[in-house]
Amino acid sequence: MNFKKIKDAANVHYMPVFSRDEISIERGEGNCVYDSFGNKYVDFVAGIATNILGYGHKEYTEAVCEQVKKLMHISNHYYSSVQSRYINKLCEASGFPRVFLCNSGAEANECAIKLARRYFKNTHGKNMTILTSEGAFHGRTLATLTATGNAAQHEVYSPLPDGFASFKYNDLEDFQSKLTDDVGAVFMETIQGECGVRPFDNDFLVGAYALCKSKGVLFIVDEVQTGMGRTGKLFSFEHFGIKPDVITLAKAIAGGIPMGACLASEEVGTAFKLGDHGSTFGGNALACAAANKVLEILLDGELLERSAAVGEYLGNKLAHFRKYNFIKDVRGKGLMRGIQLCDKVAASEFERQLRERGFLVNVAGNNTIRLVPPLTITTEEIDGLVAALDDICASTCVMC
């Protein structure tokens, strides 16, 4: 199909929920993708922090293809060796003894919410409030949307499930005031990806965690975007010396094949009873084979250490852009970075100009350019992006 036919089919038939860039991606190789015209782009989006091994990774591709030949899906009515091998490895690597496998970040977060509520009923015999942060993003189902700090979306889809309250981003005093006796769990990201790559301060996270532990409140961390090496460690919570009761994973967990996971301590993870939760496709053979290879590559090779080093390199290179008056902030950790522009300069325009120069980035909240490339991105490819961005900035004359 030519580009016009591709675009027309999507516009006519697909429900109008996406704003798409004016290209059609046809294939990938290494850390680059190619459009329907054969144009090459260095990919700093990676399927939104998902394709951490880039495209055509030899070991990963072979593992997936071999599994397709044997078995793709049988449902969770039966045991399977490929799933058991994976959950053994995941639980050992994470330090969480209990896991539920699903298909997406929203499903992983739904599982965490249901698990917390089941735990409350078991331990307190009643419903309790789940406290989330303003500016958070936990998914698009009704429950995860309620946990997400988007008032406009709340209005559109009301009535929403009850049992949620929120605290101000990075405000420990407000957090402490909201941590009332009816709160049973706190659910948060360490870096708010969709709100413009906003990291929580170390003091806030450590302080919030300590308060939760002192009151017996569950501490749940959404690692959907920050997990699997994105910040230079397998999980972002490791940077803070804390151990949550529950974490959720998705995006990069299976390298591009849909998968999610909710991991929990033994006490919390055994709160579910038979039939309390389930998934037809969750943890199917194909996804587990892919996820097993991703985890194997992260743990057995040098990719995790490399991610930390290259992420630091990217951060140092981006610090240079603070000199431009229209750039409000440069922030992030590892290979998850955001460049926030002032309101007079549209981040979407920067996105377009970078695409014309052969680089894919995307725009997150607060007028922020988000960079979440494959963990295999090279310093040379980073240098190319930085040079292109510098060229765009030098030709932008705005007083903010």
pLDDT digit string (tens) for 300-341?
879 999 999 999 999 999 999 999 999 999 999 999 999 999
Model confidence over 64-123: pLDDT tens digits? Answer: 999 999 999 999 999 999 999 999 999 999 999 999 999 999 999 999 999 999 999 999
- pLDDT of 238 higher than 80: yes
Give exposure, 309-336, as e/b (b: 16+ Cβ within 10 Å): ebbebbbebbeebeebebbbbbbbbbbb
Q: How far is CA 28 from CA 24, 63, 257, 314, in A?
A: 12, 18, 15, 22
- pLDDT of 400 higher than 70: no
Model confidence over 254-308: pLDDT tens digits? Answer: 999 999 999 999 999 999 999 999 999 999 999 999 999 999 999 987 999 999 9
Q: How far is CA 36 from CA 18, 19, 57, in A?
A: 20, 19, 22
Confidence of residue 154 (pLDDT cuts 50, 70, 90): confident
Radius of gyration for the chain, computed over Cα atoms and rounded to the nearest angstrom: 21
Q: What percent of the chain is modeled with pLDDT above 70? A: 99
Q: Which of 149-163, 220-234, 345-359 has the lowest mean pLDDT?
A: 149-163
User: pTM to 2 decimals?
Assistant: 0.96
- pLDDT of 3 higher than 80: yes
Per-residue pLDDT, 122: 95
Which domains are assigned to the chain? Answer: 3-56+303-394 (3.90.1150.10), 71-300 (3.40.640.10)
Residue ranges in 273-346 assigned as alpha helix (H):
285-300, 303-318
Strands 327-333 vs 25-29: parallel, antiparallel or unpaired: unpaired
| CA distance linking residue 368 with residue 43, whole number of Å | 17
Model confidence over 17-36: pLDDT tens digits? Answer: 999 999 999 999 999 999 99
**Hey, how many other C-beta atoms are within 10 angstroms of the C-beta on 294?**
27
Per-residue pLDDT, 81: 97
Indicate the SS3 state at residue 180.
Answer: coil
- pLDDT of 149 higher than 80: no
Contacts of 377 (CB under 8 A, 6+ apart): 31, 42, 44, 54, 310, 314, 335
State the sign of the Cα–Cα–Cα–Cα dihedral 397, 365, 260, 71.
Answer: negative
**Hey, how many other C-beta atoms are within 10 angstroms of the C-beta on 92?**
12
Q: What rounded mean pLDDT belongs to the chain?
A: 96
Model confidence over 348-372: pLDDT tens digits? Answer: 999 999 999 999 999 999 999 999 9
pLDDT, average across residues 165-192:
97
Per-residue pLDDT, 327: 96
| CA distance linking residue 27 with residue 396, whole number of Å | 33
Per-residue pLDDT, 150: 72
